[in-house]
Chain A
Amino acid sequence: MDQQGAKAIELYETIAARLEAEGHAPHQLKAYRDVLELMKTCSTIDEQMIKIKNSPFYTAVGEALVADKLEAWKQAMETLGYEDAAQILEEKIKEIEINPTRAYSTGYEQKVMACVTRHSNIRSSLLEMAKSYMSATTMDPSDALSQNEIDTIRRNYQNLENYNITFFQAVSDGRYTEGLGMTEQGLEKFTADIPKIVKGTWSAEDAYAPENIEEAWKELQARKTELKAVAEREVAKTKRAVVIAVPPADSRGTYKYAALREEEL
């Protein structure tokens, strides 16, 4: 083997080693290994190049590039648990393996993106519900905002049906709930309460009901002067004020407060 031929082999072996270590480009890896096998049968670099040119491997690396782009995309979908999207990409990869010119026929990307968007929308709907759930179940039910939150829950519950998934299926699927960081107990309660809220059968009184105020009311009237004086002392301490929150240079720091501006109440 001449020196340049050996160098060409070293180059291809370096590329193949990287592709193997990264694990996202099996088609290119195979193409480089096939080419390497052929190169090692030659005694000069010129012989290598001519043999490659006249072999089916000449276009193999280029073709493998497109297949591996899809392979890496497919692997990402598998990592996320988006099996529907991964399946579409798997089929496309097989299509390209049979006929490399199919690489440039489009349409599959939109299908994959539709799957990704659906998963994303399901997750967003559950997030909206979780956010509204904590407001709806803790606010005073007579507060108009509470009703808004219940409406948000109902709207997102309905949205799930549009994504061909039931609330129960979605909330039981870790892909959509893991990010929320809810406890097991919290998730169980959320799962049980949401259908009740949607049906209008959930009651805030099931949890903490407001305490009876009659006794406190009598005492408040009896001690009005004393209690009013307490409140007045608190009011006297109160001002109006704003500051600028100055962020730190990085996430390990803390806010500093500057440019305090005050007004008397």
Chain B
Amino acid sequence: MDSVMKMMADSYVSVFDNYNLTDPDLLAEIAAFKKEVYSFAESCGSDLMKFTSAMQQGGELLAKCSDLNTRCFYADQADKNGGGSNSSSNEGYQGVDYDSEHPSQTVISVKEYLEQYRPGYEEIKKAGYRTGGEAAYEELFRVANRTDDMLEAQLIMEKERLLFKIVSEDALDIFGAVLEAMDPLNVPVSALTNLNVEMYKKVNSDEELTYESNLLEAKTAQVIAWYIPRMNIAALIADYATKFQMAKRAARLNDGSAAKTGLESMAKLRASAKRLNQLMVEDYNTSLNTILTDQFLSLQMLLPKNLDAMGKYKQVLHPNNLRAIKELWMEMISDTSLIDILSREQEHVLYASLNKTADAVMREHRAQVQRAVSQLKYYKYENQLKGFCNKGEE
């Protein structure tokens, strides 16, 4: 089993190790539950998202975990109190012995009740970066300072959604760290993480989480579906413009058939550009100007290459190429004759990519970026976080 996955599975089952239980049926149930969790974790491979989603969405395993934990807690308390209950505490209602015909109060205090969440707190503290989750647990533990009355405590927890915040704040720690390592303008790649962050900020209960999380895949697909054709348009514009500049030069600098081939290419590329221009205007209600004003789409014209694992920083061609692309594009879609285009000197020219120093500069740029990203939470805790994201490979 993947080591990170095992750590996650451990965090869900380790809570049962804190109880001193004697009931053989309960012990057998715990053993079976642990087996089930590890078996599910195994089936998830290294897909932490699948595991945590299943464990956080009010799924069967989580429901079982919660139910079993409650029963273990009460059995543990009963064992500690010699199997039952008597207290003359006047500090508010603390519980009822349901099995007695004459109900009496047990000795479960608010503090003791909240201690069942301590193992989870200790587990996320080990992570180091889950500060929102830690704060949510601490807020929960502080309820014991606010009241000694179990009912009052439950009311506080319900009104302030303190138990649910443990889940949502912890998720925000995780997705926030992943998001920080991404390029915020790369909307299609960061869509799922962004939507997760938005979702965890918005939801207030397991049921809302189940509802919203089941919309995520389709919402993400919608974002991607909007961007993919437009990214392709941007890439095609850059491709046609680059080839057009080359064809123009071939026509003018060469002689004979090479020059004629250049001229033929110009004509073909103009036809392609006009078809593409018509398509983007009519089919997608967009234009070169619209694409150029979109930071991410225009970057696609500069042939981005990721410099870090998440694609936050990219090596790109000279940004002045965007001006050259616009100039070339206007030539291509215009009705100006080919010879007039050839007669006119381009104000902006496309810069090519590096040749001789390409590898050395790539190493230098990567090293520079490595220094910049190494301080980000994602890279500090990469082993724990890499399962929560789709990387920005391009």
Contacts and interface: CB of A to CB of B under 8 A. Distances in A.
Question: A and B from one assembly?
Answer: yes
Interface of A: 4, 7-8, 10-11, 14-15, 18-19, 22, 24-25, 28, 45-46, 49-50, 53, 62, 65-66, 68-69, 71-73, 75-77, 79-80, 103-104, 116, 119-120, 123-124, 127, 130-131, 134-135, 137-140, 178-183, 185-187, 189-190, 204, 207-213, 215-217, 219-221, 223-224, 226-228, 230-235, 237-251, 253-255, 257, 259-261, 263, 265
B271 A211 contact: yes
A4 B93 contact: yes
Closest 3 interchain pairs by CB?
A186-B283, A179-B225, A76-B214
B79 interface: no
A64 B248 CA distance: 72
A104 to B, nearest CB: 7
A50 B98 contact: yes
A254 B294 CA distance: 9
Given A66-B63, A68-B207, A245-B313, 13 more contacts: A7-B149, A69-B207, A72-B207, A104-B60, A134-B280, A138-B275, A182-B284, A183-B284, A217-B260, A220-B251, A235-B253, A240-B353, A253-B185
Contacts of B192: none
A153 B365 CA distance: 38
A123 B222 CA distance: 9
* Chain B interface, DSSP helix/strand/loop, else mixed: helix
A228 to B, nearest CB: 5
Interface stretch (B111-119, B126-134, B153-161): B153-161
A24 B208 contact: yes
A253 B103 CA distance: 64
B241 interface: no
Interface in B156-212: 158-159, 183-187, 204-208, 210-212
Nearest to A226: B343
Contact of B187 (A127, A237, A251): A251
Contacts of B312: 247
Given A134-B232, A244-B315, A75 B211 contact: yes
B381 interface: no
A216 B268 contact: no
Contacts of A66: 60, 63
A210 B365 contact: no
B249 A234 contact: yes
Nearest to B307: A244
Contacts of A230: 252, 342-345
A124 to B, nearest CB: 8
Interface of B: 57-60, 63, 67, 92-93, 96, 98, 103, 149, 151-152, 154-155, 158-159, 183-187, 204-208, 210-215, 217-218, 221-226, 228-230, 232-233, 236, 248-249, 251-253, 255, 259-260, 263-264, 266-276, 278-280, 282-285, 295, 299, 302, 304, 307, 312-319, 337-339, 342-346, 349-358, 361, 364-365, 368-369
Given A243-B318, A247-B312, A228 B252 contact: yes
Contact of A69 (B59, B221, B270): B59
Secondary structure call for the A interface? helix
Nearest to B209: A72
B368 A49 contact: no
A24 B272 contact: no
Nearest to B320: A241
Contacts of B274: 207-208
A221 B63 CA distance: 81
Nearest to B235: A135
